[in-house]
Structure 1
């Protein structure tokens, strides 16, 4: 007896969902476009949620997203690359025309990239969520409706696994008081903002773009303990699940006379790293620390030193203890092997200070939104 051409769709829906959820995102998208029976299943919110909860089963779902601008300040590039070879697999443009001049990457999580459309002077703007796998984006309403009471926003983004929810956090600092701010959280499922009435961010982030690292369910920023008496660095973390702040101290043994310090993430997004820059007689040197047990100050460990002339740009990404993605002062993207002390040219050049690198895992998020 011959079976129907779409035998799989004669199975119970939960069985079909389980089978399809194990497929890589690219296959699902192709399947959706050629099979008229599959779109209602793949586009179903329950299936999207199930697929988000499944680990990516194919290497093709894992990418490294590198953003950079041309040296003539005219062009912006979004480059998806293999996290193993760093070869480019796709270069795309955002189907959204920015309003304020700068489209900054806030973060990337479970297939969505969060952008902040802002300008150089105010750092107040509009937020965008974009899924390059399915070419869909969502514009997020300004939570404070362009109020002129605020000096600047600080933004974070991530996915909360426990409740299968994408969230954005905004800290808005007031013009008239450096110690006061308000905290707001956006949830994608409800497409709405809420103000955390009894919560104030415990640290200060200066006016200007403040990048972050999303690790262990928390957004982490390099912040100042005291905005009035000067910079004293610490790490301010916001847990997107319980919506509470915590303050993490820098490594106890970090040499204090650095002239730059920044946060970085590992390629797998599971480890928080700190990079401190020192300028000596032999040129630039970066000490790289990793927090092996998130939140435990005593777990900071100096994992390597990157010493190379012409390397004053903060490291972009830590692939492992031996390899670090860096940008030279002349704008060349390089992979530095710590053990061998060698640089591998990745044949990409741009405006040095514009480079940003985040991990990206393809998903169907926003498919039914």
Structure 2
């Protein structure tokens, strides 16, 4: 069937006038990703279109396409695993099946002593650090890019998309020594340090992996208490006001993106704040999450409008119904030790290639 469609497309390309791009995207967007992956072989132009960020942003919608979760396990069998979370119109999710994927990378094998950092995910691409090497990987296509060694240490990370130049970028370094990597040019460059006020007065908590939204990376700063955002397009910093927190509770706050909104959560608390309108302080909305935990709780994603996926104590994955205030454990099959999930992130399926050309 696929071969027949390929022949029809090739024939139409030779005999019929070219269709407008938006019409082609509209037709292709109705196809499953498995078919799109095969159709990339029709011609160079089709490969370029289907692999492009523009095309994938047009069809990649967390509320329509399948969402996935990537997990890192160190004990007892180290490895990188992925599991499908389905789509928003699925029935109630109770269990997922994990599949090991690090064998397809061809670059490394995770060891017991390796500290793996999931830097971020954007439009189906995962960016992570393992054995002091940074990788950008598409689990759907198994394409992987090994990022050139920046030759400097880092405590601040951020991965996202710059729509102004159709490029994926990585921020890496320390607050007074930041560098920017471009996937399209495959090169690093020095960028401005955090603002003077930030360098002198901000205290950035630990090894921070910023949250990507609206062409910017966001970190939480607690002296003063604001969100620090770095825009890819203008390569400048700005500040975003946050809700008023009680004194002494700002040392465990994490920034994330949930359901398309910027969000913050106390890892040792029950308050999730969502910014319904980007950059508008008055739009912060508090959501109480009543899930018991011992050390910390971290939201991973909003799978539906009223259902949040939470990582609890690095040992459990919990689905919390925000509207009803109820929760249930998510059963993970095929994972070596479901009670020891070292870290996890979510992503959506796409055909964006990490092997970009200048």
Q: Are positions 1:127 and 2:134 aligned together? A: yes
Does the 8 A contact of 1:81 with 1:89 survive in 2?
no
Q: Are positions 1:200 and 2:188 aligned together? A: no
Instruction: Indicate the SS of the match to 2:37.
Output: helix
Unaligned runs of 5+ residues in structure 2 are 1-6
- Summarize the Cα distance change of 1:352–1:241 in structure 2 as closer, same or farther, 3 Å threshold: farther
Picking from 332, 357, 369, the partner of 2:345 is: 357
| Aligned counterpart, 1:244 | 236
Q: Are positions 1:273 and 2:263 aligned together? A: yes
Q: Are positions 1:296 and 2:294 aligned together? A: no
Q: Are positions 1:97 and 2:97 aligned together? A: no
**In structure 2, C-alpha distance between the alignment counterparts of 1:316 and 1:57, rounded to whole Å:** 19
- Summarize the Cα distance change of 1:9–1:355 in structure 2 as closer, same or farther, 3 Å threshold: same
1:59-98 paired onto structure 2 within 5 Å: 61-69=65-73, 72=76, 74-84=78-88, 85=90, 86=93, 88=96, 91-94=99-102, 95=105, 96-97=107-108
**In structure 2, C-alpha distance between the alignment counterparts of 1:335 and 1:64, rounded to whole Å:** 14
Q: Are positions 1:366 and 2:358 aligned together? A: no
**Superposed displacement of residue 130, structure 1:** 0.7
- Summarize the Cα distance change of 1:360–1:257 in structure 2 as closer, same or farther, 3 Å threshold: same
Bigger mean CA offset, 127-136 vs 53-62: 53-62
**In structure 2, C-alpha distance between the alignment counterparts of 1:305 and 1:59, rounded to whole Å:** 23
| Aligned counterpart, 1:256 | 247
**Superposed displacement of residue 209, structure 1:** 2.8
**In structure 2, C-alpha distance between the alignment counterparts of 1:61 and 1:337, rounded to whole Å:** 21
**In structure 1, C-alpha distance between the alignment counterparts of 2:305 and 2:47, rounded to whole Å:** 40
**In structure 1, C-alpha distance between the alignment counterparts of 2:119 and 2:314, rounded to whole Å:** 25
Instruction: Indicate the SS of the match to 1:163.
Output: coil
1:309-324 paired onto structure 2 within 5 Å: 309-310=292-293, 312-319=295-302, 322-324=306-308
| Aligned counterpart, 1:190 | 185
Structure with more contact order per residue of length (Cα contacts < 8 Å, sep ≥ 6) = 2
**In structure 1, C-alpha distance between the alignment counterparts of 2:217 and 2:84, rounded to whole Å:** 23
Q: How many residues are paired up? A: 327
**In structure 1, C-alpha distance between the alignment counterparts of 2:316 and 2:169, rounded to whole Å:** 34
- Summarize the Cα distance change of 1:106–1:347 in structure 2 as closer, same or farther, 3 Å threshold: same
TM-score relative to the length of structure 1: 0.75
**In structure 2, C-alpha distance between the alignment counterparts of 1:363 and 1:47, rounded to whole Å:** 5
| Aligned counterpart, 1:229 | none
